[in-house]
Amino acid sequence: MANPARGETILEIGGVNHTLCLTLGALAEIEALFENGVRLDARNLVTVLAVLLRGGGSSITEAELRAAPLDPLAAASAISTCFETAL
């Protein structure tokens, strides 16, 4: 169960619920990614998702995410919700 007070949200990936959390470490990773002039595209959206999942305690990798049955709209919504609740 997600704790919105901590900026957590849930995303179902392959029938399993995973927690996303915008921790300070996750925020630093995302900032470093975009600091180098990277633009947000589908590939980098998966990277951001992986970072937020690690912030939530998941060990799922980017490669596993790319191979997972992932609903892009649900993933984008979960990322957005995670940022909204954290900030």
- Rounded to two decimals, the pTM is 0.90
Taking alpha carbons only, the member of 79, 73, 71 closest to residue 21 is 79
Strands (E), 2-71: 8-13, 16-21
Residue 81 CB contacts under 8 Å (≥ 6 apart), including other chains: 9
Tens digits of pLDDT across the chain (87 residues): 788 888 899 999 989 999 999 999 999 999 998 888 878 888 889 999 999 999 999 999 999 999 999 998 999 999 999 999 888
Q: How far apart are CA 5 and CA 30, in angstroms?
A: 21
